[in-house]
Chain A
């Protein structure tokens, strides 16, 4: 799996280089375009503040009170059977429902387990490899007045489930447990 590790290490710098080269070849005003795009980043981040504060407060209370520990303990026999890391349960449950909420949970995991731990890597992979299914369904169908989504909800949630297990598998294959 060292091939993947090398690809991963080079991916970021190479992407940046490719974008810059494509830009200069096509005579894009690099500096102006960059700052114009970056401006949007500011508003995006600021608009995340209320969501992150709301969710981090609730999660923080849930964790500090010991309720999270109780919840995980109650589920642990089942999780043990399917070899599922208990700490990832809240994230797996919240990911399809709230993007900013699950981002808050990932942050919480980073603080307690570290970014470069098995849990940190799985959480990063899970968060990156799927979208907020219920939000996407609501916004997309809502925008054109679709009331009957047929089997879409099933497909969305089942592929989220696949993504959870695929993330655990991919991380343990590339980095070990």
Chain B
């Protein structure tokens, strides 16, 4: 997929430039693009380093554990098929907390841990379980309270108020996460209904 998109961006650019007599723009585009890529990555070091440093303190002071405790009732509602004393539940809550705090780097390993625990409940099947589908819905929608990378990038580009998008991001992410939960339940129900019909006939 990525290969195809990358190829199409280049090829359509080269073809359009050739047809409109602006072929020199391709060379220029390559040079400025490459330079921008390096500059942006290096510029991001400052802000990403700052936030990961802050998050390390949050982790060691127990802030993340406090958040986990608050999230437990919500998690048991979200994952009814997971026993509340199963290790999977702990990993699911930890993953949710990390996502909410915008700890992208920490959220992925925690999510993979949750996935492995869910697979023990699922047997050795290669079909996703209900809880796995919910976990994926939650992670692709990514409930985030502090969009650290975006704030960092906005600082890089001299925004007057880099943090002003926190409010709109929370609002948008709540809507998207709500939609993900509803869609997850909706498609599960339609699948059940379809299965039942098939069994009857």
Contacts and interface: CB of A to CB of B under 8 A. Distances in A.
B108 interface: yes
A63 to B, nearest CB: 7
B112 A41 contact: no
B71 interface: no
A61 B14 contact: yes
B141 to A, nearest CB: 5
Given A34-B56, A61-B13, A151-B187, A166 B172 contact: yes
Contacts of B33: 53, 56-61
A26 interface: yes
B128 A46 contact: no
Nearest to A128: B147
A81 interface: no
A152 B5 CA distance: 22
B137 A159 contact: yes
Given A28-B57, A151-B188, A98 B34 contact: no
A11 B120 CA distance: 40
A5 interface: yes
A45 B152 CA distance: 12
Nearest to A58: B9
B45 A45 contact: yes
Nearest to A138: B1
A130 B44 CA distance: 20
Contact of A146 (B128, B162, B179): B128
A170 B137 contact: no
Taking each of A7, A159, A173, which has the highest tally of chain B beta carbons within 10 Å of its own beta carbon? A159
Interface of A: 4-5, 7-9, 11-12, 15-16, 18-20, 22-23, 25-26, 28, 30, 33-42, 44-46, 48-49, 52-67, 70-71, 94, 96-98, 101, 103-104, 106-107, 110-111, 114-116, 120-121, 124-131, 133-134, 136-137, 139-141, 143-152, 154-156, 158-160, 162-163, 166-167, 169-171, 173-175
Q: Which 7 A-B pairs have the closest CB atoms?
A: A37-B56, A60-B33, A128-B147, A41-B49, A53-B37, A64-B29, A38-B53
22 contacts: A11-B146, A19-B57, A26-B60, A28-B60, A38-B49, A42-B45, A44-B105, A45-B45, A49-B37, A56-B34, A61-B33, A62-B9, A115-B159, A127-B147, A128-B147, A134-B1, A140-B135, A141-B128, A146-B126, A155-B137, A159-B179, A175-B168
